[in-house]
Structure 1
Amino acid sequence: MSVNANQLRGSIGVVGIVFLVVAAASPLTTVAGSLPVMIALGNGAGAPLTYVIAALVLLVFSVGYATMSAAVTDTGAFYTYVTKGLGSSVGVGAAGLAVFAYTTVQAGVYGLAANTIQSLVVKYGGPDLPWWVWAFVLMAVVGLVGYRNIDVGTKVLGVLLVLEFIAIVALSVAVFSKGGAHGVDFDSFTPDAFFSASPGIAMMFAIGSFMGFEATAIYSEEARNPKRTVPVATYAAIIVIGVLYAVASWAVVLAFGSDRVAAAAAADTAGLTFDAAALYLSPAAADAMAIMLVTSLFATLLAFHSAISRYVLALARKGFAPQRLAAIHHRHGSPHAGSLLQSASAFVVVGIFAIVGADPVLQLFTWMSGVAIVAILVLMVLTSVAIIVYFHRTSSDNRWWHTRIAPLLGSLGLIAITALVVDNFTTLIGGSDTIANVFLAGVAVVFLVGVVAGKIVAGRRAGAEPQKIEPQNVEPENVERTPSTS
């Protein structure tokens, strides 16, 4: 049987895809990194309910998303679905948003990971090297793994995720079994807790914690029975992430008390989760979690690297990127050309922040994550609308809940969340209206440039199509006839 040279190969099952998605969500990074900030700057003890609400909105969105994945199998995911529903030009704009979002958030994670490694190395007596040295070392390792077959990434992520789950579950069990600081209560799941302080900032971090679940469809070409695997993996990933974060954040809240956790997070944001681990497990366990945070960040980097390289592959296949980027490695079966391009783009973004002397966490990680969250939210709204339009036009699936009602409800929920995020965006990036407006305008510009580029390419294709000429029984002139042998 012949194999398409540009066709990805693999046999990833539901568990493998869920591993990749949860890795992109980075459980330990969320629980030890984002959650303390979410509690300190957001709605304090209301963080657990925020995760539940975010998961419910994404589950409703995923109904249409999973239905679309069963109808359309392609590694482009959001890009492909928007193209099918809203046209190729808008699809290219969506692809631009996706690549922009994943590239920016990955660059931000390089900053956080490098800063974490630097601190650990110095703590244990190693050399005090600049953070960007560790960032470039990480890039080299991630680039090597991404260049090879995705199955290598699945195995690596599987081991790392098991360790993360053990650490998070152990901390949660310890807190609940010891009754927390003042006993187990359900204050975190009340409306008053959710709407306290700044719920918009909390929702921003909650949605950001789910980034990467799109990977369920991105790996459709490499999945066993994608029409079943992708929908099941999508629902499973969102539920696993939502439950894990809600329970873990509830445990952290109880560890300090619902009425005191916000103050504790403000006093020691970076150490909040590790302090809880030292108190309810042991100081050694807290140190182990700090080390595992590095592996969690590595898993995130690898998952985003894989997602970006596959988006580039999808664009190149459609003619919206150089054809050489559609190449599949003859031995590894991986999108190696897109992988190399992604490594180069990460090098440039991180390099710019390093040259100007930016802080790797407060600026590189925080700013890039904020921009990425806005871009992804806009992309998901476009996808919901595209799903409704696609099934209305094709009538290939007449289930109203799956193709109309759920996508509509999902889009309304996402629009409401986007409004909350934009309203709090200035706070996220440090209080500068100018920088906030520049970044938000950048998201819009990326989308519009993609749409315009899509129209230009489509126009050139239409003009380049050869005119069909009907064959005629007229002997061409100036052609020497072959002598008859009869």
Structure 2
Amino acid sequence: MTTGSSDTSTSTGAGGAPGADGISTFKGEERALRADRLGTSGLLLSVLAATGPIMVVAGVMPTTFAVMGIVGQPLLFVILGVVLVLFGIGYAEMSRHVHNAGAFYAYISRGLGGTAGASASFVALAAYSALQVGIYGIFGFEVAGLLATYAEVEIAWWIPALTAVAVVGALGWLKIDVNARVLGVLLLIELALVVVFDIAAVSDPGPQGLSLAAFDPGTLTGAGVGTALCFCIAAFTGFEQAPVYAEETSRPHILVPRVMFLAVGFVAVFFALSSWAITVATGPGHVVGTAREQSAGLLFFLTESRLGGTFTDVLHVLFVTGMFAALLSFHNVVARYAFAMGREGLLPRAFGRTTGASGAPGTGSLLQTVISALVVIAFAAADDKPAGDPTAPVLHLFTWGGNVGALGVILLMATASLSVVVFFARRGAAGAQAWRLVTSTLAGLALLVIAGYTVKDFDVLVGSGPGSALSWVLPGVIAAAALAGAVLGLVLRSRAPGTHARIGLGNEAFRLDRAADES
């Protein structure tokens, strides 16, 4: 195998030493992402950016209070944190054995075989693409609103949305540490402002005082609890992305598990405290009514009275930058999935090449940029409302994309839990890994229950009403992706067994190729 083609002039020798231009790739292979680009802090910031703290506090939390009528939302975040820690125990152990930008599908391939892995790869590509594209809708609308308020400029939502598509696409071609710095600065400012609100709410509680009623298990009653779990688990989306960047770290077996547990723990505590602060600010007995009255403006309504107009204005701006950080993070993940799939024959081989001196998965980045632009243009074409209206296309793009993506990620996590059990059992390590297999099983069952509620209540999640075709068409996107991947896997197993056998192997497949070439 050569290492000096036009696509890979930045590659290194077999030992992984830098080439003439000083660029190092993971394990020194030509179709690999640049190694040693991310440490613990950079990886953690990239992962946390996808959670979009202000998006959750300003969007998910008020919706859960208002639509589901569940006062005990803080307790739900704690419960989900426990479930995802259980999931992470086996998932993190798997990350010590598998270092592949295809993360979920690579893990599933190792445990359940190449065909299951191919199916999971298409689900991951569809799910993370939907999550990213959905954010463009609400991002464009919020930016248009800011321009109308502060610059007195009226523009359609799709103009800033398409501008963001272009900017995010350009950044996707740059080296990962640039993106990490951008994500990190935006994320830290977001977190600081939410913490300021939390402190203000606790310092100036509502009419019921400093109450812990939201942590009372008795608040988790009624038909809305299952659907509330669907809303809340979407807030955690992002922590599972750490293994996607494994090839770009120097010590993936150490950094990836560390970042995963830091991310889950931080997100669970941060969101539990922030949702509790909202109940304190309004009073637990009034939070549902206030959320229904204020809707997505709940957070800004509460900050206006406690921290003033200037703080609220800054929070509005950070709401937008937080969404931009999430867009960058999801874009990076989709590009890396496409890279891994191209490298292993699940997408055209062009996707399995890194770009120029940056070593970024450029073709995958371009694919995601094109898909995002086409979807935004399609929703814009369906929009016949004047600028400034909270138009249906904007709301649909956000809610449809977000819930389709969340369903896909939940199913991927449940399948990965099963894969962990099978992987270690087949290796004869069931005894040594017994407690990890137990935690993976418990997490997988819990995630399947949540996935069941998500499908059952999809009409509520997207606001389509009972009997709507959307309640099966939108989840059908994930089903169609899974079917397409499975069919491709079966075709490869029949017609290209060598390619099928390498699904999920990543760089290890190239070592097999090299050994075959040298024999």
Superposition TM-score, scaled by structure 2 size: 0.87
2:451 matches 1:399: no
C-alpha distance in 2 between matches for 1:423 and 1:190: 26
Q: Is the partner of 1:182 in helix, strand or coil?
A: coil
C-alpha distance in 2 between matches for 1:87 and 1:402: 23
Alpha-carbon shift at residue 283 of structure 1 (Å): 1.6
Identity %: 34
Greater C-alpha radius of gyration = 1
Letter in 1 for 2:151: G
1:7 aligns to what? 32
Alpha-carbon shift at residue 360 of structure 1 (Å): 4.3
| Greater displacement, 368-377 / 3-12 | 3-12
Of the three residues 422, 432, 435, the one matched with 2:455 is 422
Task: Determine if contact 1:61/1:384 at 8 Å carries over to the other structure.
Answer: yes
- Measured against aligned partners, the alpha-carbon deviations of 1:152-197 in whole angstroms (never above 9, x if no partner) come to 1100011001101110100001111223442111111112212246
1:345 aligns to what? 371
C-alpha distance in 1 between matches for 2:248 and 2:357: 15
Structure 2 gaps, min length 5: 1-11, 14-27, 384-390, 501-519
C-alpha distance in 2 between matches for 1:224 and 1:397: 29
Q: 1:130 to 1:271 in 2, by over 3 A?
A: same
Structure 1 gaps, min length 5: 466-486
Letter in 1 for 2:447: L
| Greater displacement, 79-88 / 13-22 | 13-22
Of the three residues 28, 53, 77, the one matched with 1:27 is 53
1:228 aligns to what? 254
1:20-59 equivalent positions in 2, closer than 5 A: 20-59=46-85
Alpha-carbon shift at residue 5 of structure 1 (Å): 2.1
Q: 1:252 to 1:83 in 2, by over 3 A?
A: same
1:212-361 equivalent positions in 2, closer than 5 A: 212-357=238-383, 359-361=392-394
Alpha-carbon shift at residue 400 of structure 1 (Å): 3.2
C-alpha distance in 2 between matches for 1:278 and 1:181: 17
C-alpha distance in 2 between matches for 1:401 and 1:161: 38
2:87 matches 1:87: no
Task: Determine if contact 1:41/1:201 at 8 Å carries over to the other structure.
Answer: no
Task: Determine if contact 1:188/1:194 at 8 Å carries over to the other structure.
Answer: no
Task: Determine if contact 2:84/2:443 at 8 Å carries over to the other structure.
Answer: yes
Superposition TM-score, scaled by structure 1 size: 0.93
C-alpha distance in 2 between matches for 1:5 and 1:172: 48
Of the three residues 416, 429, 433, the one matched with 1:383 is 416
Cα RMSD, aligned residues only: 1.6
2:491 matches 1:456: yes
Alpha-carbon shift at residue 314 of structure 1 (Å): 0.7
Letter in 2 for 1:43: G
Task: Determine if contact 2:137/2:395 at 8 Å carries over to the other structure.
Answer: no
Task: Determine if contact 2:205/2:283 at 8 Å carries over to the other structure.
Answer: no
2:471 matches 1:446: no
C-alpha distance in 1 between matches for 2:435 and 2:259: 17
Alpha-carbon shift at residue 75 of structure 1 (Å): 1.1
2:44 aligns to what? 18
2:219 matches 1:193: yes
Count the aligned residue pairs: 465
| Greater displacement, 393-402 / 443-452 | 393-402
- Measured against aligned partners, the alpha-carbon deviations of 1:101-148 in whole angstroms (never above 9, x if no partner) come to 111111110001111101111011332111111110000110111111
Letter in 2 for 1:6: R
2:469 aligns to what? 434
C-alpha distance in 2 between matches for 1:276 and 1:196: 27
